[in-house]
A and B are shown apart, each in its own frame.
Chain A
């Protein structure tokens, strides 16, 4: 590529405009992405604010001691991250695909357009706002859910202190917010299926359900698998915005909702434990990278264009 320094200098002269165009961007990525990557060494140091990243002394693997001391917490947090992500990916994909298939069966144009617009809307508000929505429903005294329970003669549930309900609540909210938007991709894939297949199926006497099972689903399977793989690649990364936005500092819910990202966040901000939080962060980045890389490698074999590289 860059054959020699001489070639490079000549190219800069020849394409100087292009170099000018990419310069700000390169500076941006260097400052906000690559410099922090170098800053990973802080996981092996005893960080002192006055000495900075590069001046602070090394302390070997001291920062990683918490793994042996706090093993239960760490394992719980890793489990929550993987478990919740698996639920999101699995149920989320199923729901989005089902939505796309059903939208496709709607004939009334106005109904189709309006309902599609409505189900996509939740995607554009932040999790902080969704938290307010959830509060309206889940608040113990004033919430709508408890209102319904009472009117049915059932006891009210203290949702914000009952950790066991929250995986379900989180999945529900995740689907509420993203399934509509995700279904667009699958709908686009469905539109890409050759219409002739459906026509010949009609001639063969197949009903709609059979057509969906034998034509539509296989037809979008490639898209599904690629998106699934890409999602699985990110399985070690929790959705901080979602979890912290909804759960916040409510420690009563941590047992089922605390993920690696929120754990690291609290270690950094509340405990000011730079050592431990950077150690976990490093582990997450390494393992996460392996997964993302592997997932993309598999996707690449499958369909070259869809992989990140």
Chain B
């Protein structure tokens, strides 16, 4: 083994230092919002926010999860949209991805281009908005939060690659055994592409959970606000949170304003943070697969 020079050692130290600092910078904001959500409101007014909690209290959470609060409804909307949306998107994307991966099918080429082109050119938000609200009547409904995102062209391309990496010999053998396309899809292609489906399913879930564009454009009914839009409403105007039902009678001064904003935020990203350690490698894998186009 060759001896390490001084510059090698410095580089090594730099690498550890850099990654250490980057990692800390990555989690400090998370620590800050958790801490603030647990800190007494008076303390915040006197000393500002901090990375660590002080004068720990659960008041903010009690308020947020209390009777008449909006977060329960928002959670229902977001959970519904995420589960149903992901299932729906995965279904459509898998169907199309499989069909387009059949290279021996002549129509796969023009239809693929038909999909690709949408990644190159779009009509802009104005025609989209007019078509979606006026012609498709997608407004103030749960369908409005799912249908416009039914298929993501990029995810489609990735799934298509997944299907095309399955060795054709397997399909040939099955065909010789008399299997039709339907059997090919269900009994052979799907089981083999499971990792790909899992990854794309995760991508869709995250995008449905995090989306606020659709609700910003298409939802005006507060009952249908998903979590992200609720956060937006709360952080831009606290009076939104105080106008709901039973809580309106509480004197304004005792509402844990900053704590409430933070507590709502913590509850919104909570699921992602909790599931992250388990799902993290799928994201990484998905990205490396995605960058190798079929």
A285 touches B5 (CB 8 A): no
State A134–B32 Cα separation when bound (angstroms).
11
- Contact flag A120-B135 (CB < 8 Å), given A125-B272, A268-B129, A309-B113: no
- Contact flag A185-B291 (CB < 8 Å), given A111-B19, A119-B23: yes
A146 touches B48 (CB 8 A): yes
Q: Kindly specify which of B60-68, B101-109, B168-176, B190-198 makes contact with the partner chain.
A: B101-109
As a 0/1 sequence over residues 108 to 140 of chain A, the CB contacts with chain B under 8 angstroms (1 = contact) are: 100110110111111011101111110111010
A121 touches B109 (CB 8 A): no
Residues of B in contact with A, size category = 35 or more
As a 0/1 sequence over residues 153 to 180 of chain B, the CB contacts with chain A under 8 angstroms (1 = contact) are: 0001000000000000000000000001
State A37–B131 Cα separation when bound (angstroms).
10
A128 touches B231 (CB 8 A): yes
State A86–B105 Cα separation when bound (angstroms).
42
Question: Of all chain B residues, which has the CB nearest A118?
Answer: B23
Tell whether B249 is near chain A: CB-to-CB under 8 Å. no
For chain A, residues 277 to 309, give those with C-beta under 8 angstroms from any C-beta of chain B.
Answer: 277-278, 281-282, 284-285, 288-289, 292-293, 296, 305-306, 308-309
Partner of B131, one of A29, A39, A278: A39
Contacts of A268 in B (CB 8 A): 125-126, 129
Question: Of all chain B residues, which has the CB nearest A144?
Answer: B49
Tell whether B122 is near chain A: CB-to-CB under 8 Å. yes
As a 0/1 sequence over residues 42 to 72 of chain B, the CB contacts with chain A under 8 angstroms (1 = contact) are: 0011011111000000000000000000000
Partner of B23, one of A53, A114, A308: A114
B122 touches A36 (CB 8 A): yes
State A265–B135 Cα separation when bound (angstroms).
20
For chain B, residues 99 to 149, give those with C-beta under 8 angstroms from any C-beta of chain A.
Answer: 99-100, 102, 105-107, 109-111, 113-116, 118-132, 134-136, 147-148
As a 0/1 sequence over residues 258 to 270 of chain A, the CB contacts with chain B under 8 angstroms (1 = contact) are: 0001001100100
- Secondary structure at the B interface, as helix, strand, loop or mixed, is helix
Partner of A26, one of B2, B114, B123: B114
Contacts of B50 in A (CB 8 A): 144, 147
Tell whether B96 is near chain A: CB-to-CB under 8 Å. yes
B11 touches A209 (CB 8 A): yes
A111 touches B130 (CB 8 A): no
Partner of B276, one of A47, A124, A180: A124
B26 touches A121 (CB 8 A): yes
Contacts of A120 in B (CB 8 A): 280, 283-284
B284 touches A22 (CB 8 A): no
State A33–B20 Cα separation when bound (angstroms).
44
Contacts of B213 in A (CB 8 A): 240-241
B26 to A: closest C-beta gap in Å: 5
Contacts of A274 in B (CB 8 A): 126, 130
Partner of A1, one of B110, B211, B291: B110
A306 touches B113 (CB 8 A): no
Residues of A in contact with B, size category = 35 or more
Tell whether B254 is near chain A: CB-to-CB under 8 Å. no
Contacts of A285 in B (CB 8 A): 121-124
Contacts of A154 in B (CB 8 A): none
Question: Of all chain B residues, which has the CB nearest A233?
Answer: B120
State A149–B29 Cα separation when bound (angstroms).
18
State A13–B130 Cα separation when bound (angstroms).
37
A119 touches B228 (CB 8 A): no
For chain B, residues 213 to 246, give those with C-beta under 8 angstroms from any C-beta of chain A.
Answer: 213, 228, 231-232, 235-236
Q: Kindly specify which of A64-72, A75-83, A97-105, A162-170 makes contact with the partner chain.
A: A97-105
B127 touches A49 (CB 8 A): no
Contacts of B185 in A (CB 8 A): 21
A39 touches B210 (CB 8 A): no
A122 touches B32 (CB 8 A): no
A147 touches B49 (CB 8 A): yes
B283 touches A124 (CB 8 A): yes
Contacts of B236 in A (CB 8 A): 248-249
Given contacts A209-B8, A281-B123, A309-B120, 14 further A-B contacts (CB under 8 A): A19-B107, A22-B111, A28-B150, A32-B128, A32-B132, A35-B127, A103-B15, A133-B32, A144-B32, A185-B291, A188-B291, A245-B232, A277-B126, A308-B116
A-B pairs with lowest CB-CB distance, top 6: A281-B124, A39-B127, A25-B96, A133-B29, A36-B123, A126-B210
Jot down 21 A-B pairs with beta carbons below 8 A, ordered by A: A19-B99, A24-B92, A32-B128, A43-B126, A105-B15, A108-B16, A111-B16, A112-B19, A128-B231, A129-B231, A142-B48, A184-B288, A208-B12, A209-B8, A248-B236, A264-B124, A274-B126, A277-B125, A281-B126, A285-B124, A308-B119
Identify the A interface with B (CB < 8 A): 1-2, 11, 15, 17-19, 21-22, 24-26, 28-29, 31-40, 42-43, 47, 49, 52-53, 98-99, 102-103, 105-108, 111-112, 114-115, 117-122, 124-126, 128-133, 135-137, 139, 141-144, 146-147, 176, 180-181, 184-185, 188, 202, 207-209, 240-241, 245, 248-249, 261, 264-265, 268, 274, 277-278, 281-282, 284-285, 288-289, 292-293, 296, 305-306, 308-309
